[in-house]
Amino acid sequence: MNFFRGVISGQAAGPQPSGAETIQKLCDRVASSTLLEDRRDAVRALKSLSKKYRMEVGTQAMDHLINILQTDRSDSEILGYALDTLYNVICNDEEEEQDESEDAVAPLPVSGKHKNVSVPDENAQKQADDLSLQFTDTFIQDPEHVTLLLTLLEEFDFHVRWPGVKLLTALLKNQGPQIQGIILVSPMGVSRLMDLLADSREVIRNDGLLLLQQLTKGNAAIQKIVAFENAFERLLDIITEEGSSDGGIVVEDCLLLLLNLLKNNSSNQNFFKEGSYIQRMKPWFEVGDDNSGWSAQKVTNLHLMLQLVRVMVSPVNSPGATASCQKSMFQCGLLQQLCTILMATGVPADILTETINTVSEVIRGSQVNQDYFASVNAPSNPPRPAIVVLLMSMVNERQPFVLRCAVLYCFQCFLYKNQKGQGEIVATLLPSTIDANSISAGQLLCGGLFSADSLSNWCAAVALAHALQDNLTQKEQLLRVQLATSLGKPPVSLLQQCTNILSQGSKVQTRVGLLMLLCTWISNCPIAVTHFLHNQENVPFLTAQISENLGEDERLVQGLCALLLGICIYYNDNSLENYTKEKLKQLIEKRIGKENFVEKLGFITKHELYSRAAQKPQPVFPSPEQMLFDHEFTKLVKELEGVITKAVHKSSEEEKKEEEVKKTLEQHDNIVTQYKELIREQDAQLQELKEQVASMTSQNEQLQATITQQQSQIQQHKDQYNILKLKLAKENQGQSNSQGDGSQVNGLQTEELTQLREEVEELRKQHSLLQTQLSDKDALISSLKSGAAQTAEGPAGGSDNTELLQELEALRSQVQSQSTEIGQLKMERQDLLRRAEAGSSDTLPSSDSSLDAAKMAELESRLGAQTSEMERLKAEVKNLSESRAELEKQLDSTTSTVAILQTEKEKLQTDVQESKKEQDDLLMLLADQDQKITSLKKRLKDLGETVEDEDDLDTRDQTDDDDEEDEDED
């Protein structure tokens, strides 16, 4: 223990041991000590020496420290010392200290604690970096060491978790791809690291952000896992809690992590959009009216927030994903908020520049967003369109270079695939729409095109070229623009003025801009080519420029002149005799040479700045002098270079053949187009006819159904007419009885009447029968009542009651069967009545010409008589129905009476049973008494007493009665 204290305090008696010897002894103690306290003190001593003797501790103690991490898991203090020692060995402390000192002085921190700085002693710095890589490689030789470190991060103890986070961050900085691969295959490795963001201790959470920044660099798989571990939700919550753009370094770290997750990762971008996280970005850009005194941290945070928006709508993303994000940003009001910052006052220049670039990519290719941007006005008096205000900054040479480039990019994005916007810009240059009292975009572009500033010339030329991009109508409209050069001179066209300035030998940047404008203008526009060639000075000037051997700076101008002349050949419609395709090619061959012409044409693509401009649409240049090529123009060069080379090398015969083939193809295309139009018309007609056929088919089906219904009705009328005719004929012949077969004809009506009469008679019989049965039931009820009264007199009434009950049940069943028969008879009667009514309601049609008027009258009289007979029968049937109803009522009352009597009968039967029981008891008592009396008489007789028998008493009583009667007679 004294040894450790001596090492730590720096006190020692006698000769001082070297650092390596001390570290060796400490390592031996760590390896051999059995007491945990001894090992802990040794590791603490190694920690104190690890910064000064970094190499010695790293080479000698690393294995022992890793062993401590594996074996002493139960003691958090020794684990913390071991992790701190490993961190000091692996991390470059000199770089860390330099970072912290610069963070305290630097006005604009970029990534909070982690920046690459140059140390005065570069060799020492390089050695330190090499040492860090060496120790990192040693540590990760066994992937289990990284897995062990991930396991230790699950410990909640601050002294274990925090140094573990710092150590893993240092490992990722030194050997990121290898550590990422180990973490990726480790079970729940990324999830353990994501838990750091939920730690309540801000130090661990903030260092966890730095760890995740290093973890997600350049690894799409880990980026996806982190995103699906709810990283977006957690990071946005942290940004909101820390104050959004007004927050500190933590907000910056969150934004850097979000950029890592979203940049060049379409899956995470789609997840971010589908999760409605774009809407949560809008409050970030809500700046107040007082924009003075922005802190450096706020500028950094807002700059990163704008970059995050640009990542979502970057031109390198897929068009569908970009369009979807642009739509969401407009719908949630994010674009409107950005335009508010754009027009606000007091915004720092770099934030304003980045905001312009962000708005540019949010509106690029989106018609809705472009239309909204065109409607934005600056808060000036009078209000001016935002486009005009931005163009004023672009052509103002006093504005910063990066700001002018951003405005140019914004104007290009506004016109990208926006023919409506292109027409509005060109319209501001036309004579009929020029307003002398206001400044228009066209006036600003013309002013910049012909100003003394070469950068303004170049920017205005490129901006005007974008107003003509892929728009033949605007190219032709721009030919109408006339410019007043000076007083007293006639106006000249814009095309002529451009060539005049070109021939005056201005700066290279100005000439390159004008040549790009002219090439874009006349390409794919034969009318513009004719206007250009109509000026007799243009072709000699171009040939002179191409044929001269100029310096290195002029080679690009020669290539662009060759391109312009080649466009005049390729898009020439041979309307000018002096400058037909053939004559221009002969001119090139005589004055320049075909090979020399093609070589000069190749100067464009061989230029070092050409490939840089072709990479992305945004104009980004290190300096104004390098601002020469436009992105869209590089596409035009790539498209035309090959066809112009072929057009120059073709002979007149090949040209004629090609023209013939071209005409043939055009004719063929015209024929095909005509046939296509004819087929389209026929398709439309066919579709219309199909619809008509379908409607007519449905109408036909409806009419067929109507016809079928009418035919059935007609057939029914015919049948009714024939039946009525037969009935009348039979009735006529039946009454006259003149012919034998006449009765056969009238048999149908007579049989029906006879059947009806028979049924009525049968109903009458049923009625009388029911009356009889009812009287029988009344008699039976009377007998039942009398029988019930007699049941109390003796037990013999029980059998009679049983018979009566049986008879009553039989009568009930008979009544039910008769009720059923009555219902059936009623239904038959109603059927007969309907048939009779149908026979009586039918009338003879007037179309039967075989019957004369007298016969008709006779038939009508007979029909009336028959109808009256039917009415009489109906009345009788009605009376019978009423009688039957009355009988049913009587039957119901009888049934209720029977039920009452049945109840009384059951009661009487109960009383009879009780009486029988009492009678039996009395009989038993009488029998007992007789026995007692007999025994007493016997005893009296035995005792000698005179006892009279019952017979003697009866005789005596009888004698007394006779004597009384004799006395009465006397």
The chain-wide mean pLDDT, for the chain, equals 81
- Looking at 74-88, 118-132, 631-645, which range is the least confident one? 118-132
Q: Alpha-carbon distance 812 to 818, whole Å?
A: 10
Cβ pair 133, 174 in contact under 8 A: yes
Instruction: Indicate if the pLDDT at residue 538 is higher than 80.
Output: yes
Do residues 532 and 518 lie in contact, with contact meaning Cβ atoms separated by under 8 Å?
yes
- Indicate whether 455 pLDDT > 60: yes
With 70 as the cut, is the pLDDT of residue 391 above it?
yes
Q: How many other CB atoms sit within 10 Å of the CB of residue 792?
A: 11
Running DSSP on this structure, what letter comes out for residue 264? T
Q: Provide mean pLDDT across the span 431-435.
A: 66
The yes-or-no verdict on residue 436 having pLDDT over 70 is no
Rounded to whole angstroms, the Cα distance separating 868 from 364 reads: 99
| Cα–Cα distance measured from residue 554 to residue 607, given in angstroms and rounded to the nearest whole number | 12
Burial 373-399 (b: 16+ CB within 10 A, else e): bbebebeeeeebbbbbbbbbbbbbeee
Give the mean pLDDT of 909-924. 78
Q: Give the mean model confidence (pLDDT) for residues 878-907.
A: 76
What's the confidence (pLDDT) of residue 886? 75
- Single-letter code of the amino acid located at 704: Q
Number of H helices, E strands in the chain: 42, 4
Give pLDDT, residue 637.
Answer: 95
CA dist., res. 207 & res. 213, Å (int): 10
Higher pLDDT, 489 or 227: 227
* DSSP character at residue 384: E
Burial pattern 758-789, b for ≥16 Cβ within 10 A else e, equals ebbeebeebbeebeebbeebeebbeebeebbe
Tell me which of 599 and 962 has the higher pLDDT: 599
Mean pLDDT lowest among 429-443, 703-717, 875-889: 875-889
Taking 3-state DSSP, the helix, strand and coil percentages for the chain, each rounded to the nearest 5, stand at 75, 0, 20
Inform me whether the pLDDT recorded for 456 exceeds 50: yes
Burial state string for 489-519 with b = 16 or more CB within 10 A and e = fewer than 16:
eeebbbbbbbbebbbeeeeebbbbbbbbbbb
pLDDT at 945 over 80: no
Q: What is the pLDDT of residue 850?
A: 44
Report, as an integer, the average pLDDT of 204-233: 93
> Among 567-571, 838-842, 958-962, which range has the highest average pLDDT?
567-571
pLDDT recorded at residue 463: 96
Separation between Cα atoms, residue 314 and residue 269, nearest integer Å: 11
Q: Give the separation between CA 669 and CA 678, rounded to whole angstroms.
A: 14
Interacting residues of 25 by C-beta distance below 8 A, sequence separation 6+: 3, 17
What's the average model confidence in pLDDT over 617-640?
92
Lowest mean pLDDT among 143-152, 157-166, 316-325, 875-884: 875-884
List, for residues 785-807, the tens digit of each pLDDT value. 565 555 444 444 444 445 545 65
Q: Do 533 and 539 contact (CB within 8 A), yes or no?
A: yes
Q: Give the pLDDT mean for 249-260.
A: 95
- State the Cα–Cα distance between residues 857 and 163, nearest whole angstrom: 129
Cα–Cα distance measured from residue 65 to residue 135, given in angstroms and rounded to the nearest whole number: 13
d(CA 846, CA 859): 14
Comparing C-alpha atoms, which of 177, 211, 174, 176 is closest to residue 192?
211
d(CA 585, CA 593): 9
- Whether cis (ω within 30° of 0) applies to the bond prior to 383 is no
Q: What is the pLDDT of residues 467-477, one digit of tens each?
A: 999 999 999 99
The DSSP symbol for 140 reads T
Q: What is the mean pLDDT of residues 936-951?
A: 71
Whole-angstrom Cα distance, residue 866 to residue 840? 8
Nearest-angstrom CA–CA distance, 255 and 234: 12
User: Which range among 124-133, 267-276, 328-337 shows the weakest confidence by mean pLDDT?
Assistant: 124-133
DSSP string, 483-512: E--STTS--EEHHHHHHHHHHTT--HHHHH
Q: For residue 156, give every residue at least 6 positions away whose Cβ sits within 8 Å of its Cβ, in sequence order, or none.
A: none
**Non-local CB neighbours of 162 within 8 Å, separated by 6+ positions:** 203, 204, 207
Query: How far apart, in whole angstroms, are the C-alpha atoms of residue 870 and residue 366?
Result: 91
Q: What pLDDT does 4 receive?
A: 43
CA distance 526 to 572: 6
Q: What are phi and psi of 513, to 5 degrees?
A: -65, -45
Compute φ and ψ for 620, nearest 5 degrees: -120, 115
pLDDT at position 117, please? 41
Q: What's the rounded Cα separation, in Å, for the pair 359 and 889?
A: 98
Task: Check pLDDT > 80 for residue 811.
Answer: no
pLDDT of 909: 80
Question: Quick one: pLDDT at residue 828?
Answer: 62
- Both structure tokens of 368: 């809705």
- Domain positions in the chain are 439-650, 799-943
For residues 134 and 129, what is the distance between their CA atoms, to the nearest angstrom? 9
- Comparing 76-80, 132-136, 941-945, the range with the smallest average pLDDT is 941-945
The closest alpha carbon to 224, from 266, 176, 280, belongs to 266
Taking residues 777-781, what's their average pLDDT?
66
Beta bridge partners of 482: 493
What span, in angstroms and rounded, lies between the C-alpha atoms of 369 and 378?
Answer: 17
Cβ(273)–Cβ(312) below 8 Å: yes
Grouping H, G, I as helix, E, B as strand and the rest as coil, residue 695 is helix
Backbone angles phi, psi at 73, to 5 degrees: -70, -20
CA–CA separation, 29 vs 23, rounded Å? 10
Residue 858, CA distances (Å) to 33, 426, 728, 729, 735 in order? 146, 104, 10, 11, 11
Which stretch of 52-66, 372-386, 718-732 has the lowest confidence by average pLDDT? 718-732
Of the pLDDT bands very low, low, confident and very high (cuts 50, 70, 90), residue 277 is very high
pLDDT value of position 105: 32
Handedness of CA 756, 760, 762, 763 (dihedral sign): positive
Q: What three-state secondary structure class fits 53?
A: coil
The model's confidence at residue 742, banded by pLDDT at 50, 70 and 90, is very low
CATH class (in words) of the domain with range 439-650: mainly alpha
Q: Mark residue 286 as left, alpha or beta (left: phi above 0; alpha: psi -120 to 50; beta: remaining).
A: beta
Are 101 and 88 contacting, i.e. CB atoms less than 8 angstroms apart?
A: no
> Alpha-carbon distance 194 to 657, whole Å?
71
Structural tokens at position 346: 């007091």
Answer with the residue of higher pLDDT: 588 or 118: 588
Cα of first residue to Cα of last residue in the chain, in angstroms, is 169
Mean pLDDT of the region 675-685: 87
Res. 403: pLDDT tops 60: yes
Is the pLDDT at 833 greater than 70? The verdict is no
Nearest to 91 by CA among 207, 169, 206: 169
User: What six digits make up the tokens of 606?
Assistant: 């061989």
User: What's the pLDDT score for residue 891?
Assistant: 77
* 949: phi then psi, degrees, rounded to nearest 5: -80, 170
Grouping H, G, I as helix, E, B as strand and the rest as coil, residue 380 is coil
Q: What is the pLDDT of residues 134-159, one digit of tens each?
A: 888 889 888 898 999 999 998 889 99
Instruction: Tell me the whole-structure pTM to 2 decimals.
Output: 0.65
Residue 655: per-residue pLDDT: 65
Instruction: Give the per-residue pLDDT at 933.
Output: 79
pLDDT above 90: percentage of residues in the chain: 40
Q: What is the pLDDT of residue 782?
A: 65
Dihedral, CA atoms, 215, 217, 222, 226, nearest 10 degrees? Answer: 70
More confident residue, 743 or 49: 49
Q: Is the dihedral of CA 891, 897, 901, 902 positive or negative?
A: positive
pLDDT of residue 7: 46
Burial class for 824, CB neighbours closer than 10 Å (0-12, 13-18, 19+): exposed
| Rounded Cα distance, 256 and 310, in Å | 14
Cα torsion 676, 679, 683, 685 to 10°: value is 120
748 — pLDDT class (breaks 50, 70, 90): very low
SS (H, E, C) 302-321: HHHHHHHHHHHCCCCCCHHH
774 vs 502 pLDDT, higher one: 502
pLDDT of residue 20: 80
Q: What is the pLDDT of residue 678?
A: 87
Banded model confidence at residue 466, pLDDT cuts 50, 70, 90: very high
Question: What tokens were used for 129?
Answer: 């970096």
pLDDT band at 289 (very low <50, low <70, confident <90, very high): low
Query: Element (H or E) spanning 345, and its range?
Result: none
Mean pLDDT of 466-491: 87
Residues in CB range of 776: below 8 A, 6 or more apart: none
Does 103 score more than 60 pLDDT?
Answer: no
Interval 40-60: pLDDT, tens:
999 999 899 888 888 888 888
Which of the given ranges, 574-578, 735-739, 887-891, has the highest pLDDT on average? 574-578
Span of 348-352, 686-690, 786-790, 816-820 with lowest mean pLDDT: 786-790
Which residues are within 8 A (CB) of 677 and not within 5 positions of it... i.e. 6 or more apart? none
What's the pLDDT at 801?
47
